[in-house]
Structure 1
Amino acid sequence: MCSEIKFQIIRSIKRQIFGGYSSVLFSICSEESQLIKMKFLILTLCVTAVFADWRPLDSDEMKLVKTSWEKVKHNEVDILYNIFKQNPDIQAKFTQFAGKDLETLKGTTSFATHATRIVSFLSDFILLMENNKNLPGIKVIVNQMGQNHKNRGVTKDQFNEFKNTFFEYMHASGDLQHAWNDAFDNLYYIVFSNLDGHPVA
């Protein structure tokens, strides 16, 4: 009888010990599972946030941007001339042009080459912007441009000066201005991230 009682007591103790251990083990596993889920959620949010400020243009806006750009994209020298004319501080950021007479510069090969570089960049950006699948390519060219201008000490204010002068040159108003604004918002989202020292990954 005593042996039977002892056996029941020992079995009860074992159940409590191992039952408690199982509960603890289950609790640990559950916590690890929750931690993994949280890490995955954070990673997903980070990836989503990369282009949280990127807003694709709708088809009408894209058409307005492309059509208006086609009309002026061959006026490279004239575009850059107007930018420098109205914003001498921007001209001063480029060592090859700083302190030089703009009227004289306008007819030089170096001026034409730089003007073509700017227009070509905008043409590439507009072309890539037509399809969201091109976002990786957009990041590459705009990050590079942003870093180059950061190294020159170009500021956000000067980029906005460029935009305002460009809009004047394009005679942008109404729907056309809205479309170009959306395009520049996307462009400057990446550029300004670079100026802040955080290229868009």
Structure 2
Amino acid sequence: MKFLIVVAALIAAAHASVSADEAALVQSTWNQVKSNEVDILYAIFSAYPDIQARFPAFVGQDLSALKGSAPFALHATRIVSVISQYVGLLGNDANLPAIQTIFNQLGQTHYNRGVTAQQFTEFRTAFLNYLSSQVNYDAATAQAWNDAFDQVYAIVLSKY
């Protein structure tokens, strides 16, 4: 299994480049949803309850009730802040070391917490499903976001 994850990460790394045009698409679509932190996290937990179960503060809680809580909003803001930081760094190759640092750390902390590669895939799927329901999501936008996730996951999944 580890071998397959390494192969997937290497394949993703080979296609991890995000062009300037793709960066602009990612940035423009992200700007349309980045203030919807709670809705984004709600969509992810709703689609994949196993992700919610990874958070000790949220285990066993009703998602609808949780959605209105301060701890949920705070965690949603943390997730969106990391995505915003990454999106802001896109489009400039000089920022690649910063991207590497951010996602090496994120990958290590999530690995240490027992988050699986499958759960990262689920997060991606749920996030892109949410995004595609909120913005003009054409083929170019889909490709841009997939390339952005490939870049991130090539780093994050290198821990697995």
Deviations 1:69-101 (A, max 9, x none): 000000000000000011000000111111111
Name the amino acid aligned to 1:184: F
Q: Calculate percent identity across the aligned residue pairs.
A: 51
1:138 to 99, 109, 118: 99
Counterpart for residue 6 of structure 2: none
- Contact 1:94–1:152 (Cα < 8 Å) also in 2: no
CA apart distance, 1:173 = 4.2
Q: How do 1:13-92 residues align onto structure 2 when only pairs under 5 Å count?
A: 53=14, 55-92=16-53
Q: Judge which range, 52-61 or 173-182, deviates more.
A: 52-61
Match of 1:114 in 2: 75
Residue 129 of structure 1, CA deviation? 2.2
Letter in 2 for 1:153: G
Letter of the 1:102 counterpart = L
Q: For the Cα contact (< 8 Å) 1:54–1:189, is it kept in 2?
A: no
* 1: CA distance, partners of 2:125 / 2:16: 20
Using structure 2 for the length normalisation, give the TM-score: 0.85
1:56 deviates by 2.7
Offset at residue 59 of structure 1 (A): 2.1
Aligned partner (choices 86, 89, 97) of residue 128 of structure 1: 89
User: 2:149 aligned with 1:188, yes or no?
Assistant: no
Structure 1, gaps ≥5 residues long: 1-48, 197-201
Tell me the number of residue pairs that the alignment of Structure 1 and Structure 2 aligns.
146
Cα distance, 1:54 vs structure 2: 6.3
Equivalence map 1:144-155=2 (5 Å): 144-155=105-116
Instruction: Report the TM-score, using the length of structure 1 for normalisation.
Output: 0.69
Following TM superposition, the consecutive aligned residue runs of length 4 or more in structure 1 with deviations greater than 3 angstroms are: 52-55
Structure 2 counterpart of 1:84, one-letter code: F
